[in-house]
Each structure stands twice: as C-alpha cells, then as structure tokens.
C-alpha cells in the first residue's frame, strides 16, 4: 500500500507531499509504519528517489504521552493508537496537526497550550481535597495528555485567538475544584476564553483518545458561573 505524507523541511519551508511504499503487517499501527519507513537502510520514496527520514514525535507508543498526535486519513488521531487494518483504502495519508505551527514534517509546536494556561494562571498552587463525589470526574480530567487533538477538531479554535479550546474547560474545572485560588477569576477566565466561544459541536469529545468528559466539566463550570454572577 501507499503512505502519503505531507512533509516540510523547516518552519518556513513550503510543505510538499511525498509517497512511500509499505508492504508490511496490516495489524501494525501507523506509528509502526512510520518506523518501518524510517528504519530502512536506504530510504527512497515510491519513485525510487533517495530522501530524508521522516520527523515525527513519540515517547510511549501506548497512547499515554500524546506526542504522536497527527491527522491520518483526515482524522485527528494518535498514530500509535491507529491501526492499518482499520483504515479504508490502499493509501494512508498522514499530515501534521493543522492548528499548530509545523517545526518539521509531522512535528508541531504545541507550546501555545501551556502558554494559554500560563496566561490565566490555570495551575493548582495551594490546593484542597474536593468533595468525594467529584473525585472520579477529577481523576478522568487529570488524564488529559495535552495532545491537542481536541483543538484540531474544534471548529471554533483558531490559532492565536482568544478562545483557548476544550482542554481549557477541563483545566478550568479541575483548578476551580481543587485550587485555593480566587474562584471568581477562574470563572471569569473560563467565561472569557471558553464559554463565550463554544458552539457545543462536541467534536472534541469524539476525537479525545482518553475520553475526557469535557461536557461534564462544562456543566460544572457553567453552573458555577451562574451561581457566581446571579
């Protein structure tokens, strides 16, 4: 089968498509396909032209670090959790996430996620135990990989704008629930940087690889906002 990859040599270079042949195991993950291509002694594209190894990020290869988030056959997914046998057709298309600046090939700069969280101080400093009934939800939210797949899928998240995206709703709830910080400020930031811009498409929840319950965070925060401003 063919593996068609959108490549880019450096942040300011023009992107270009390059095709590779793959005749390995169909039970393999797309991460393993990328390794298969990269580990060849002489890497050539489908036309036999020598080429450079493909840059992509991975750390865990088991859906736990979020590093391998990319767009495969038009879907924002983790490469290590996407399997060839589950993909339709004889061509796998692989692109970097579109909502982040490309550094090289499939490696993108997701620093904006942390930058946005820093801007509004969405971190827990001194904290308290929340009510026991909320622990399950907090635990599930705490599993967020910061992979950026929800931002890729969100129709309202646009690079550089004031809407920080779905993962921010989850962090806001987590911080509001646990932190001893100023609740009014946390809620105002949530309203300004998330609630006002969210159109409830819930595309974020469909692509999240660890099933973060963003809707539950939104419900908690929206109720909190009403309580605070009413």
Catalog residues that contact ligand SF4 under the rule CB under 6 A.
66, 144-150, 166-167, 170, 208, 210, 212
Q: How far apart, in Å, are the Cα atoms of 13 and each of 7, 9, 102, 103? A: 10, 6, 10, 10
CA distance 187 to 167: 15
Choosing among ligand FES, ligand SF4, none, which partner's interface includes residue 94 (Cβ < 5 to 8 Å by kind)? Answer: none
Cα 111 from Cα 101, distance rounded (Å):
10
# binding residues, ligand FES (CB under 6 A): 12
By the rule CB under 6 A, 64 interacts with ligand FES: yes
Q: How far is the CB of 202 from ligand SF4 (least distance, A)?
A: 12
- Which CB atom, from 59 or from 201, has the smaller least distance to ligand FES? 59
Q: Which listed option, ligand SF4, ligand FES, none, makes contact with residue 183 (CB within 5 to 8 Å by class)?
A: none
User: In what helix (H) or strand (E) does residue 177 lie, and over which residues does it extend?
Assistant: helix 166-178
Binder to ligand FES among 1, 28, 43, 65 (CB under 6 A)?
65
Q: Which stretch binds ligand FES (CB under 6 A): 17-25, 57-65, 125-133, 165-173?
A: 57-65
Is residue 31 exposed (0-12), middle (13-18) or buried (19+ Cβ within 10 Å)? buried
* Residue 37 within binding range of ligand FES, rule CB under 6 A: no
- Other beta carbons within 10 Å of 207: 19
CB nearer ligand FES, residue 63 or residue 181: 63
Closest distance between ligand FES and the C-beta of residue 95, in Å? 16
Q: Residue 76 binds which one of ligand SF4, ligand FES, none, with CB within 5 to 8 A depending on kind?
A: none
Take residue 127 and report the two structure tokens written for it. 């904290």
State the nearest-atom distance from the C-beta of 136 to ligand SF4, in Å: 17
Nearest-10 crossing angle of helices 111-119, 166-178: 40
CB of 80 to ligand FES, least distance (A): 3
Site residues (CB under 6 A) for ligand FES, limited to 75-134: 78, 80
The single-letter DSSP state of residue 84 is G
Residue 38: left if φ>0, alpha if ψ -120 to 50, beta else—which one? alpha
**Is the CB of 37 or the CB of 122 nearer to ligand SF4?**
122
What's the CA angle centered on 201, arms 189 and 165, to 5 degrees? Answer: 30
Neighbour tally for 172: CB within 10 Å: 27
Residues near ligand FES (CB under 6 A) are 58-61, 63-68, 78, 80
């Amino acid at each position: 089968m063919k593996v068609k990859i959108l490549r880019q040599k450096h942040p300011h270079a023009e992107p270009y498509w390059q095709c590779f042949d793959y005749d390995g195991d169909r039970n393999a993950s797309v991460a393993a396909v990328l390794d298969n291509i990269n580990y060849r002694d002489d890497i050539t594209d489908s036309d036999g032209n020598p080429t450079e190894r493909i840059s992509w990020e991975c750390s865990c290869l088991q859906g736990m670090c979020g590093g391998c988030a990319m767009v495969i056959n038009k879907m924002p997914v983790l490469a290590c959790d996407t399997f060839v046998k589950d993909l339709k057709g004889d061509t796998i298309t692989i692109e970097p996430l579109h909502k982040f600046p490309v550094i090289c090939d499939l490696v993108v700069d997701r620093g904006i996620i942390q930058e946005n969280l820093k801007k509004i101080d969405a971190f827990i400093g001194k904290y308290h135990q929340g009510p026991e009934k909320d622990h399950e939800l907090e635990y599930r939210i705490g599993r967020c990989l910061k992979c950026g797949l929800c931002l890729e899928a969100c129709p309202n998240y646009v690079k550089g704008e004031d809407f920080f995206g779905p993962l921010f709703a989850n962090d806001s709830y987590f911080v509001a629930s646990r932190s001893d910080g100023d609740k009014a400020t946390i809620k105002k930031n949530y309203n300004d940087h998330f609630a006002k811009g969210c159109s409830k498409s819930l595309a974020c929840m469909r692509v999240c690889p660890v099933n973060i319950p963003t809707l539950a965070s939104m419900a908690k925060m929206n109720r909190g906002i009403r309580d605070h401003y009413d």
